[in-house]
Amino acid sequence: MPVTTCIFDAYGTLFDVTAAARQAAAEPGRGLLAENWQKLAAHWRTKQLQYTWIRALAGTHANFWTVTQQALDWALEAMELHGDPELRERLLALYWELAAFPEVPGMLKALKIAGRQTAILSNGSPDMLRGAVESAGIGDVLDDVLSVESVGIFKPHPSVYDLVGKRFGCKREQVLFVSSNGWDAAAASGYGFTAAWVNRAGEPVDRLPWQPAHVLSDLSGIPDLAGRL
């Protein structure tokens, strides 16, 4: 059954989650951050993901903006940068306008030209996602932006993936799901989507009950892949 609908994770997949720390580090007077921004960005992202998993398991949902702030607070303390409230506010402000990866606009446009439906399915809260989409200028090549806030639990809970069929009326095998998170791509594969993992860092495949059907180094090959499925 051919793919009719291409669904994308947002953070780390379409939007570069390291961009906020990188941009802040390049600003005047950020010498200490300039030396350590990669480590701060990695801590921030790791804790952000861990907090979503823990909250989902414990049944203590909070919106993604709350999780993002709490993860940053942990990262700043771990890097001994927590005594600078202005830096915290600057990093959070930059997170609302994360840069999209360079190939994203052209890739989404190619999918739309081919007649495929496109959407984001993200842990992000609606206002955060709206800000990122507007900042990246990709709203015109997306049919929708779906947030876990409508079900009140983070990925990889199956109710999140259910949102795709409810919105687009498609069967699971008609969906190409794309994520830079190996665990997300694996869970989507287990759900019944055709999953592509964007493995930008060249990491090993996660040891989970399922595996993504396709592994790519970036998003540029997605239109061709969708056309072959």
Q: Active-site residues: which are they? A: 9
CA 224 to chain centre: 21
H or E element in which residue 31 lies: helix 31-58
Whether the bond into 156 is cis, omega within 30 of 0: yes
5, 17, 47 from 88: Cα distances, Å: 38, 15, 16
> Residue 116 has which token pair?
């495929």
- Going by the DSSP 8-state scheme, the letter that residue 15 receives in this structure is B
Question: What is the distance between the alpha carbons of residues 229 and 226, in angstroms, rounded to a whole number?
Answer: 5
State the maximum Cα–Cα separation within the chain, in Å, rounded to a whole number: 56
Tell which residue, 49, 52, 63, 55, has the closest CA to residue 17: 49
Token output for 111: 């999918």
